Structure 1
């Protein structure tokens, strides 16, 4: 992967930061400039990378993933499965929350209940995991037994994404996993604002929230009650700086210790400067477009016949053929990306070993449009964030130009993610940009969330906003996610990926790379999930 980056000498450049300066980084405050600002402190508000990265500082999960997304013990020290639906987790002893209250299995039960009773969550975030729980029992303070409705081979991975709350933050009687009976909670369930003001931001993580001022700064302080190794930084300050230019300028001026997602083309400015270093790490994040393929009338599509052309697979394939992915990677992403021909990088679990290249062929695209009855094209609006993914609005502008060249007259509606994501979840868009990083490291992550037919439990298809429906695909993905045998599951996922790719209801563009630049007296380890973590930064030796 990322051959262009290897040629350019970008990959593995943490070497620049490892011994360039003999002085240690300040152990007092680590200042990090973020390209995409988190929208909440609530760990269950929105399953979004900037949010998950921030809340990981404050709230632990039962498991944890390292920089390569390998799963390790966290609040759970071990786990086992009976070969079917029952998992037993042994919890870490001697852990306390930042307010001094002890961590027990009841806190985990309460947390799982809260994900199902969270009125302020965006798109049912994290409920897709816990909705599969038939029962959750706590035989003792350090034991948790989960029985799932359907087998879940990846439960130890998924469960680690759910930040654990203290049950002390609500009034309750005996806590039990009984959502219909309110789980024993007698007071009000917490909402997002209760965390943002710091009142309920009580976790077992390495840091505590000091203050959260939207659009200004997020300040954390070291949690001296943390069960793990103490972090070297007494405090951490996250500052939202949405534009890459000012982020780099701030690093050069000494205002920041670390910046995320500098423009790849700007790395040459610090490459030979011994005051700085940078890290480039391939990620699992695919950038793609989701199309409204179900409605007869779509809000941002206008065709002379009054129909929704996106319902025709020939139109959707024409749109894919119109896009020059290699040009986007080389010109807009400066080589810090890889063209995507499926929804997870080749070689990872459940991916196609030799996916068919999604070629650039405008002539073939025009021919398909004519065959579909649109020789003169139609009008379309592409909706995009302008502050979430690397070059997101610029990429959409480029795609709009490509589509216009084949006769699909395309406009761009760019908006901040705070507006965009709620609109997308309400199905108000016709063609919507997306970016999905696999939390599990296998192909099921994307396939179960986006193209799958939604089930009643809410465990699959939670983001199928475009109304995609393919019974052959659904049969494969529903069977795959409940298959405990790895070899069989991988085969099913490959078949499912083949099915969804041929329908072009989701048009992949490229896989992003994570890029971080930093002062040379800071050593930084990049992550494939693109999380920007203070825990990944250490004073350089």
Structure 2
């Protein structure tokens, strides 16, 4: 009987060991296009970071696959009056270390967000409107805003809550090491090796229910060919940002499944207007300094926009996986204007405008951009350069890894910057506030306005919109602000990305307009 007893005991032991019998079956590897620059959830407002960190941390609200705001760590929120919000927190939620989540953690988080040292792109734009927080009880908060702020519930989805217990003396390096990376999310951090991989394990007992995976390994595969090869070899079970050149071929492979969706991401150009003198890398054709900043002239900005053939970029460079852009979001989103049309490709008209502005023979510039962040980003920069050469502008292209590019762009070290922006709120007022409002860190406005464009008419319309609680009136104000900015070429929109994911047979991914790649949305097909 003794051997049988031992077998029974062993069986009983493994039965109570969580998921031990299925651990190997519940492991998955995912190939990412872009690196994650930090595990600190308040250091760098960058989509690859936000997507990854949503596994570890959570906001008071969150967004579904179509960017609708739904409950997160808050179960409800309501405006008591135009300046006062009551937030009810979810009970019985624990951080990864077992400590309870309470209102004190929210207060601590809100204080930290605007004070993270050396942040390349701050999250302060989401917290600035909140001027006072009162703790009513461990699961109830009262927020006060300086002015009516209808976007508050949406903004709160972008502020990931951290543990006061683990974060009081923590620096960004402590989050990157994993020491302070303690959230309430569905996964715990196991390993973070910058530019290589991030390993997560399931947070058993997660309030949102059981996750589909016990262990997830995200591999940074910036090279498109390497990403596809990893999928075909079985090294990863899913990849994001399927190279446009490979979509047709991969879609015919019976061992693969592809899903796509028009995203909220606009690829655009910021023109550095921060100084009266010409910005860096913008000179006369002989290399001598220009007397003034050409980008401060609306005619020059418009000429640079008219010179770009967006249809050709969408059709050829993006291989039909891009939609020519007229504003900051596709017109299915809130706050977009049907009056705004894609700029007509008109190189001759662009030449005339340059001549009117005092540059009949053009000038010289260098296009800067990343080469591993957006779909075909290097090719897009090269295509724009060819269009500019045709209108008499001597154009060079310099692209670099996103981790090097964004900090330098934030410091305004470039003149002409190819960038991308995904509007997480799903409404254009938020994008305008970040990218085109006059740069004012104290008010949380223009936090990502790397062009330093400034237009009082836009600011007024946008500020009025942000304090207007009536949806219809607010949308009209946002539309007007967008029309002012786009008609003045505050920046140059190029196209909206169409996101494509590819997964191995036996897996299904739910595509998202925010382009996030979430392990929770990758489901095994039974």
Aligned residues of 2:126 and 2:158 also touching (Cα < 8 A): no
- Within the candidate set 145, 148, 152, 1:148 is matched to 145
Hey, what's the Cα distance between the residues in 2 that align with 1:373 and 1:25?
A: 68
Higher radius of gyration, 1 or 2: 2
Among candidates 108, 111, 116, match of residue 110 of structure 1: 108
Distance 1:526 1:106 in 2: 35
How far is 1:456 from its partner?
A: 5.5
- Equivalence for 1:237: 217
Pairwise CA distance, 1:306: 2.7
Partners of 2:466 and 2:255 lie apart in 1 by: 48
SS in 2 for 1:267: helix
CA–CA distance in 2 between the matches of 1:268 and 1:501? 35
Query: What's 2:66 paired with?
Result: 68
1:101 alignment counterpart: 99
Match of 2:75 in 1: 77
**Which deviations, in whole Å up to 9, do the C-alpha atoms of 1:92-128 show, x marking residues without a partner?**
11111110001111111111111123114223x2112
* 2:234 corresponds to 1:254: yes
Deviations 1:296-326 (A, max 9, x none): 2211111375322222111111111110001
Which runs of at least 4 in structure 1 moved beyond 3 Å after TM superposition? 24-27
| Residues 25 and 521, structure 1, Cα contact 8 Å, conserved in 2 | no
Q: CA deviation at 1:69?
A: 0.3
Query: Secondary structure of 1:341's partner?
Result: coil
Instruction: For 2:439 and 2:273, locate their aligned partners in 1 and report how far apart those are by CA, in whole Å.
Output: 15
Alignment partner, residue 264 of structure 2: 284
Q: Verify: 1:30 aligned to 2:28, yes or no.
A: yes
Q: Which residue of 2 aligns with 1:87?
A: 85
Aligned to 1:176: none
Q: 1:164 aligns with which of 161, 166, 181?
A: 161
Deviation, structure 1 residue 294: 4.0
Does structure 1 residue 489 correspond to structure 2 residue 474? yes
Q: Decide whether aligned partners of structure 1 residues 84 and 108 sit closer, same or farther in structure 2, where only a CA change above 3 A counts.
A: same
Structure 2 CA distance for aligned equivalents of residues 526 and 341 of structure 1: 24
Please, which runs of 5 or more residues in structure 2 have no aligned partner? 1-21
Structure 1 pair 331–55 and aligned structure 2 pair: CA distance change class (3 A): same
Contact 1:26 1:539 in 2 (8 A): no
User: Does the CA-based 8 Å contact 1:341-1:358 persist in structure 2?
Assistant: yes
Tell me how far 1:26 sits from its aligned partner.
6.3
Q: Give the structure 2 partner of residue 16 of structure 1.
A: none
CA contact (8 A) 1:403 1:409 kept: yes
What's 2:11 paired with? none
Instruction: Determine the C-alpha separation between the residues in 2 that align with 1:241 and 1:170.
Output: 31
Q: What TM-score results when the alignment is normalised by the length of structure 1?
A: 0.90
CA distance in 2, matches of 1:347, 1:214: 36
Partner of 2:344: 359
Query: How far is 1:270 from its partner?
Result: 2.4
When the two chains are superposed, the root-mean-square deviation of aligned CA atoms in Å is 1.5
Give the superposition deviation at 1:233. 0.6
Instruction: Map 1:332-343; keep pairs closer than 5 Å.
Output: 332-343=317-328
CA contact (8 A) 1:97 1:225 kept: no
- State how far apart, in whole Å, the 2-side matches of 1:92 and 1:105 are: 10
Determine the C-alpha separation between the residues in 2 that align with 1:25 and 1:494: 51
Q: What is the rounded CA distance, in whole Å, between the counterparts of 1:50 and 1:277 in structure 2?
A: 23
- Which residue does the alignment assign to 1:218? 198
Contact 1:346/1:354 (8 A) holds in 2 = no
Size of the aligned set, in residue pairs, is: 500
- What residue in structure 2 maps to residue 207 of structure 1? 187
Q: TM-score, normalised by structure 2?
A: 0.93
SS at match of 1:493: helix
Query: Which residue number corresponds to residue 371 of structure 2?
Result: 386
